[in-house]
Structure 1
Amino acid sequence: MIENRPVVEAVGRLLWPERTRVTELDRKLAATRIEHERAEGRCPDAEVRLARVRQATTQAELDSAVAGRSGSAVPPVLEAAPRVGLAVWCLVTLADLAVYLTLGMVSGQWDEPWVLWPALGGGLLVLGLWSMRERDRRMRLGE
């Protein structure tokens, strides 16, 4: 059987960064980034940030600690918007596909694949929501 755990973890990190548990590798990478900034003289509060990195339990907390911020990286509404949009897009696309297939089987005539247009349009909207959330997250973290 093929092990798909890395795929599940990657999707989980993408969909739920505020719930994703931090691994030791994540902590080491964050600490290295802070140490690099301290060596360049850009991080006067490195000890405080390193202590917060050690205490971080979720990816969102780790991102805030690395950036030197004390608050949450992204508001909950903005965090949930891409997930809600993705769920609605999937449901609408599946419903459109069911209608298209049912009409084609009942009538025996297969029209042009009109179902692609709503699927592409909805996909672009979800992509826009996702990029808006990531842009806001990067602006809040000062990257």
Structure 2
Amino acid sequence: MSEERDENSLFGRLSWPEEQQAPEAAKEQANLEKEQARAARTKAKTDGVPVGLLTTRRVIAVVWATVCGIQILIWGLVSIIGGDLAFPWWLWTVGGGGLVVGGLWLAIGSAARKRRQAE
């Protein structure tokens, strides 16, 4: 009986495991290098500010802008249907919420600037 190694068969993979581990180790090393490169790109993009904080900032800004848009739309419809220009009550939300969202953007931006200057 000749001992031909058929690496594609199940028996070939089971009988020669040391040869099969090398590609797995190489794949694991490649995955590790990809993960490290992705982490470096993320850190460079975010200037060291946690990604969750940046995402939260964006979500809050989008929610605020959406609420303001809906309120302005409702105010416009009330003014058109009523035939009179109604008091712009939406200014309270736009102004107050804008200050909060703007303060949040400045605070996170200043943290990123401080980290950049420290490096």
**Range of TM-score over shorter length:** 0.5 to 0.7
Structure with larger RCO (C-alpha < 8 A, sep 6+): 2
1:108 aligns with 2:83: yes
Q: Write the distance in 2 (CA, Å) between the matches of 1:101 and 1:135.
A: 37
How far does residue 122 in structure 1 lie from its aligned partner after superposition? 1.4
Aligned-CA RMSD value: 2.6
- Quick one: structure 1 residues 63 and 122, their matched pair in 2 at CA, closer, same or farther if it must change by over 3 Å? closer
Alignment match, 1:61: 44
User: What whole-Å deviation, never above 9, does each CA across 1:60-115 have from its counterpart, x for those lacking one?
Assistant: 42786xxxxxxxx0111211122111101111011101110111111112122222
TM-score normalised to structure 1 length:
0.47
Q: Secondary structure at the match of 1:110?
A: coil
Moved over 6 A (4+): none
Q: Write the distance in 2 (CA, Å) between the matches of 1:62 and 1:118.
A: 32
Which is richer in helix? 2
Alignment match, 2:115: 140
How far does residue 124 in structure 1 lie from its aligned partner after superposition? 1.1
Q: Is the contact between residue 81 and residue 129 of structure 1 (CA under 8 Å) also seen in structure 2?
A: no
Q: Secondary structure at the match of 1:77?
A: helix
**Rg: which structure is higher?**
2
**Percent of residue pairs bearing the same amino acid type:** 30
